[in-house]
Structure 1
Amino acid sequence: MKILFVGAGLSGAVTGRALAEAGHEVTVIDGRDHIAGNCHTVRDPETGVMVHVYGPHIFHTDDAGVWDYVTRFMAFRPYKNRVKTTSRGEVFSLPINLHTINQFYRKTFRPEEARAFIAEQADTSIEDPQTFEEQALRFVGPDLYEAFFKGYTEKQWGCSPTELPASILKRLPVRFNYDDNYFFHRFQGMPEEGYTEMVARILDHPGITVTLGTWYEPAMAEDHDHVFWSGPLDGYFGYELGRLGYRTLDFERFTAQGDWQGTAVMNYGDRDVPWTRITEHKHFSPWEEHEGSVLYREFSRECGPEDIPYYPIRLVEEKEMLGAYVARAEAETGVTFMGRLGTYRYLDMDVTIREALDTAALFLARTGAGEPMPAFVKSPL
């Protein structure tokens, strides 16, 4: 079969590779001038630093199959994400751990003492937290919420934490030991030569043709037996029902000599600091040595029509519109929507790859049995 993939990010590359290996003729297009989507990396010509062009991407997973898959194409070097945050004129460790608690409260708690103390701070009158703020107050109490979550969240999402769902905060751990590894997955690391080179190797197959700087036209579907769409779901329909809400990011790049901030990621929790964080990219490749340094100040704002969408908002208004777009998509034939943009969901890289592999397996099974492929392998709703 002739199969078209719209988008040369992880979704298109992984599913496309699997179908090419199965003997299908795969074409991958992307409107941008590079592959790898938002995990695109490039070697900075001035400093030699490997730069995460659209912000840092750190690979972490408990899925052994996904880890085996990515390490099939590139060696991964060990990497632990140790985030710091500047709040009220001090630097603290994130996620909140025993060191953070002791430093913030000027205590020397042991784990069980800290656990009991935080339980006393928590607002136990909130039995079923519905909003981000309620979840935080129920979780850690007002002091830690104000210092580490409130201002940062207002900047990141552009709204009050009272308007955000509790599920956003449920992803963040609180630890009653001194473990400051942001993630707790079995497999963590960074691709030795960058994500773009990894994706290039995935796409390097005689059955795959890649064309960049090429935007999708509906007429292209007529020349292919199936289309896999990993662009914006609403974009497929020309935004006829309106635009789904996203947050986008602006980056203020600057360079320095030596080690500018001593860590890869420094959050800024205070509301009066306009950026959410500063990232120092050479620390994402700690096995390399560079005299110069490349840093990004990161600013979050509402995504406009010409901006790159990063984080789906998924509040009530968006969910209503999403339901209408999903109904439209499910009425289509010959197209499958996939990935972060195609399903309007926040996805880590490992989940994206797992769903891409599952999508390829389902396509091969369905076409082998003469059955149609669904619009979604994983429903956005």
Structure 2
Amino acid sequence: MQILLVGAGLSGAVIGRRLAEAGHDCRVIDSRDHIGGNCHTSRDAETGVMMHVYGPHIFHTDDEEVWNYVNGFTEFLPFQNRVKATARGGVYSLPINLLTINQFFGKTLRPDEAREFIAAQADRTITDPQTFEEQALRFVGRDLYEAFFRGYTEKQWGCSPTELPASILKRLPVRFNYDDNYFFHRFQGMPRGGYTPMIEAILDHPNITVELSTPYTPDMASDADHVFWSGPLDGFFDYELGRLGYRTLDFERFTHQGDYQGCAVMNYGDRDTPYTRITEHKHFSPWESHDASVCYREYSREAGPDDIPYYPIRLVAEKALLGDYVTRAEATEGVTFVGRLGTYRYLDMDVTIREALDTAGVFLENMTSGREMQAFVSSPL
């Protein structure tokens, strides 16, 4: 079959590879001039530092099949994300852990003592938290919420934490030990040469052709037996029902001789600091040595029509519009919507790859049994 894959990021590459291995001809197009989507990495010409061009991507997963899959295309080296936060004139460890608690409150608490102390700080009158703020107050109390969550969240999402659902905070744990590894997953690492060579290797198959700087046009679908769309869901329909809301990021680049901040990621929780964090990219490749350093200050704002969409907002209005687009998509034949943009969901890289592998598997099974391929293998709703 002739397969068209719109987008040369992880979704398009993984689906294309699996279908190419099954004997199908896969045409992968991308409107950008590079592969990899927002995972794209490249060497900084001035310093030689490996740059995460669209912000840092750290691979972490408990899915052993996905871990083995990516290691089949590149060498992953150990990397653990150890985030720090500047707040109220101090520097602290994130996620909130025993060191954070003892530093912030000037204590020397043991784990059980810290658990009791935080329980006393927490607002237990909130029994069914509905908002981000209520969830934080119930978990950690007013002081830690104000220092580490409120200002950062207002900057990141452009609204009060009272307007955000409690579910956003459920992925931020509090630890009563000194473990400052940001992720819990068994497998964590970084590709030695960056993500772009890994995706290049996935796309390296005789049944795959890649065309960059090639925006999708509707006539392309007429030459394909099936289309896998990893662009914006609303973009496929030319935004006829309106635009789904996203947050985007602005990056302010600066260089430094030596080590600027001593860690890869420094969050800034104070509201009067306009950026959310500073990333120092040479620390994402600790096996390399560079005298100079490249850093980025990150500023979050609402995405406009010409901006790169990063984080789907998914509040009430967006979910209603999403439902309308899902209905349109399910009535459209010959197209399957995949990935972060195609399903309007925040997805980590390992989940993106898992869903791409599953989608390719469903497609091959459907072709064998003569069933129509559905619009979504992973529901956006």
Q: What is the match of residue 52 of structure 1?
A: 52
Mapped to 2, the partners of 1:336 and 1:166 lie a distance apart of 31
CA shift digits 1:308-358 (9 cap, x unpaired): 000000000000000000000000000000000000000000000000000
Q: What is the match of residue 87 of structure 2?
A: 87
Paired residues for 1:252-271 under 5 Å: 252-271=252-271
Q: What is the match of residue 61 of structure 1?
A: 61
Mapped to 2, the partners of 1:7 and 1:197 lie a distance apart of 16
Q: What is the match of residue 293 of structure 1?
A: 293
SS at match of 1:82: coil
Q: What is the match of residue 312 of structure 1?
A: 312
Q: What is the match of residue 111 of structure 1?
A: 111
Mapped to 1, the partners of 2:99 and 2:275 lie a distance apart of 25
Q: Residue type matched to 1:78 in 2?
A: P
CA shift digits 1:6-34 (9 cap, x unpaired): 00000000010000000000000000000
Mapped to 2, the partners of 1:333 and 1:247 lie a distance apart of 30
Mapped to 2, the partners of 1:63 and 1:223 lie a distance apart of 36
Mapped to 1, the partners of 2:345 and 2:19 lie a distance apart of 24
Mapped to 2, the partners of 1:380 and 1:336 lie a distance apart of 12
Q: What is the match of residue 8 of structure 1?
A: 8
Unaligned runs of 5+ in 1: none
Q: Does residue 121 of structure 1 match 2:101?
A: no
Unaligned runs of 5+ in 2: none
Q: What is the match of residue 73 of structure 2?
A: 73
Q: Does residue 234 of structure 1 match 2:231?
A: no
Mapped to 2, the partners of 1:9 and 1:56 lie a distance apart of 15
Mapped to 2, the partners of 1:50 and 1:329 lie a distance apart of 38
Q: What is the match of residue 40 of structure 2?
A: 40
Q: What is the Cα deviation at residue 286 of structure 1? A: 0.1
Q: Residue type matched to 1:114 in 2?
A: A
Q: Does residue 246 of structure 1 match 2:246?
A: yes
CA shift digits 1:177-220 (9 cap, x unpaired): 00000001000000000000100000000000000001111110
Q: Does residue 273 of structure 1 match 2:270?
A: no
Q: Residue type matched to 1:137 in 2?
A: L
Mapped to 2, the partners of 1:325 and 1:126 lie a distance apart of 36
Q: Residue type matched to 2:293 in 1?
A: S
Mapped to 2, the partners of 1:321 and 1:7 lie a distance apart of 23
Q: What is the match of residue 24 of structure 1?
A: 24
Q: Residue type matched to 2:45 in 1?
A: P
Mapped to 1, the partners of 2:351 and 2:169 lie a distance apart of 19
SS at match of 1:140: helix
Q: Residue type matched to 1:235 in 2?
A: G
Q: What is the match of residue 166 of structure 1?
A: 166
Mapped to 1, the partners of 2:186 and 2:37 lie a distance apart of 25
Paired residues for 1:172-187 under 5 Å: 172-187=172-187
Paired residues for 1:316-355 under 5 Å: 316-355=316-355
Mapped to 2, the partners of 1:196 and 1:248 lie a distance apart of 22
CA shift digits 1:111-136 (9 cap, x unpaired): 00000110111111111111100100
Mapped to 2, the partners of 1:370 and 1:254 lie a distance apart of 55
Q: Residue type matched to 1:227 in 2?
A: V
SS at match of 1:141: helix
Q: What is the match of residue 216 of structure 1?
A: 216
Mapped to 1, the partners of 2:233 and 2:125 lie a distance apart of 40
Normalised TM-score (structure 2): 1.00
Mapped to 1, the partners of 2:165 and 2:212 lie a distance apart of 37
Q: Residue type matched to 2:185 in 1?
A: H
SS at match of 1:228: strand
Q: What is the match of residue 147 of structure 2?
A: 147
**Alignment RMSD:** 0.4
Q: What is the match of residue 360 of structure 2?
A: 360
Mapped to 2, the partners of 1:165 and 1:200 lie a distance apart of 38
CA shift digits 1:250-288 (9 cap, x unpaired): 000011111011000000000000000000000000000
Mapped to 2, the partners of 1:163 and 1:373 lie a distance apart of 38
Q: What is the Cα deviation at residue 45 of structure 1? A: 1.3
In the TM superposition, structure 1's runs of 4+ consecutive aligned residues that sit over 4 Å from their partners are none
Mapped to 2, the partners of 1:131 and 1:347 lie a distance apart of 22
SS at match of 1:252: strand
Mapped to 1, the partners of 2:175 and 2:88 lie a distance apart of 22
Q: Residue type matched to 2:375 in 1?
A: A
SS at match of 2:72: helix
Mapped to 2, the partners of 1:262 and 1:189 lie a distance apart of 19
SS at match of 1:73: coil
